[in-house]
Amino acid sequence: MLIGCTPKSQLPTFTNTGNPLIKDKFTADPAPMVHNGKLYLYVGQDEYYEGQDTASGGKEFNITKWLCYSTEDMQTWTDHGCVLKPTDFSWGVGEAWASQVIEKEGKFYYYTTVQAGPPYNSKVIGVAISDSPTGPFTDPIGKPLVTDDMTSNGPRGWWNDIDPTAFIDDNGQAWLCWGNGTCFLVKLKPNMVELDGEIMVVDLPKYMEGPWLHKRGNIYYLTYASMGADREAIAYATALSMEGPWTPHGELTGMAENSFTIHPGIIEFKGKWYLFYHNAVLTIDGHPGAIGRRSVCVDELLYNPDGTMKFVKQTKEGIAK
């Protein structure tokens, strides 16, 4: 089934003027990918609705589509608009939570969080495929990749199958990691749309949600939203193999301004490393930032000689020239 959003005939652009990076829409859960000299940034669009400010229990979030932006220099950005919606999946009924796109052998795999309808009736992990980083995308399996009955509820017990991150290690083995309250990790088969073996649990201190996998040199990094003083921060762990053991290193950056949640996205682009995240400082159309009205930001990421990551100070300047 062909899925995706209506393409635009003319794509708008904007210039990086500091954080938040995207200023005309509320955006969250940044997921960068580099391909053919461009950095593509996938985000969920936080959308205001009447009554949002008094909602609770997760209903503060109103994300009905994923957007994509691209850049060749981190300064001029192209807005590709909507590239996928959860309702484009035949089994999806709404809520476009965190996602990530990765490339393998010329195909682009979009791993997503979706609220699934019957018989699942829960948050699930879905996957879509395209020949282009901006779509259109095709649902290759006609069902979710990960469903609630495949994972234990863990200590928190709700929304456990959310926030997928995918990564291919040096051996060519693809991995999928996700989870709210519990961090799940599993191998993917070479076709990228089937699990390969048992789902493992990675024990990480103060783990909340939003994992992100990357590698630099001979070190693998698992970065995630952790519980800070009174809301989420970003912490990370390292390993010499995806099988672990994973060594925690504490916080990579602190809590986001005005936002309970924070979500890491880490990428190397043209010789520099970047940490994408979100806060909630923008006011758009008279609506101030809130738990469900966030804004994507980016700051440079640096490493220590031993491979650990230096603490990232969240700035208003970001990486604007």
| Six token digits for residue 179 | 């989870």
246-261: average pLDDT: 98
- pLDDT the model gives residue 9: 66
Q: Is the pLDDT of residue 157 over 70?
A: no
pLDDT grade for 34, boundaries at 50, 70 and 90: very high
- The 10 Å CB-count burial string (b at 16+, else e) for 192-230 is bbeeeeebeebebeebbbbbbbbbeeebbbbbbbbebee
Q: Which domain holds residue 70?
A: 20-301
> Structure tokens of 80?
């590709």
> Could you tell me if residue 307 is inside a domain?
no
The yes-or-no verdict on residue 2 having pLDDT over 60 is: no
In one-letter notation, the amino acid at residue 67 is L
Whether 306 is in a domain gets the answer no
What are the pLDDT digits (tens) for 278-310?
999 999 999 999 999 999 999 999 999 999 999
Cα separation, 207 vs 182, in Å, equals 7
Give, as one character, the DSSP assignment of residue 50: T
Mean per-residue pLDDT of the chain: 95
At residue 94, the pLDDT reads: 84
In order, the DSSP letters of 165-177 are: EEEE-TTS-EEEE
- Residues above pLDDT 90, as percent of the chain: 92
pLDDT in tens, 87-99: 999 999 988 999 9
Domain membership flag for residue 7: no
Q: Which residue has the higher pLDDT, 5 or 62?
A: 62
Flag whether 147 is in a domain: yes
Q: Mean pLDDT, to the nearest integer, of 49-72?
A: 96
264: pLDDT confidence band, cut at 50, 70 and 90? very high
Q: Is residue 321 domain-resident? A: no
Position 4 confidence tier, pLDDT thresholds 50, 70, 90: low
pLDDT tens for residues 102-134? 999 999 999 999 999 999 989 999 999 999 999
pTM of the model: 0.96
| pLDDT value of residue 321 | 84
State how many domains the chain has. 1
Answer yes or no: is pLDDT of 1 > 60. no
CATH number at residue 106: 2.115.10.20
Is residue 156 predicted with pLDDT exceeding 80? Answer: no
In a domain, 268, yes or no: yes
| Residue 25: partners with Cβ closer than 8 Å, 6 or more residues away | 45, 46, 67, 284
Question: pLDDT band at 153, cuts 50/70/90?
Answer: confident
180 secondary structure, DSSP code: S
Residue 320 included in any domain: no
Q: Both tokens of residue 170?
A: 């040096």
What are the pLDDT digits (tens) for 173-188? 999 999 999 999 999 9
Whole-angstrom Cα distance, residue 28 to residue 67? 10
Quote the tokens at residue 46: 């936080």
End-to-end CA distance of the chain: 43
pLDDT over threshold 90, residue 158: no
Domain assignment present for residue 9? The answer is: no
Contact of 255 with 229, CB cutoff 8 Å:
yes
% of the chain beyond a pLDDT of 70: 96
What letter does residue 219 receive in the DSSP assignment?
A: E
The pLDDT score that the predictor gives to residue 311 is 98
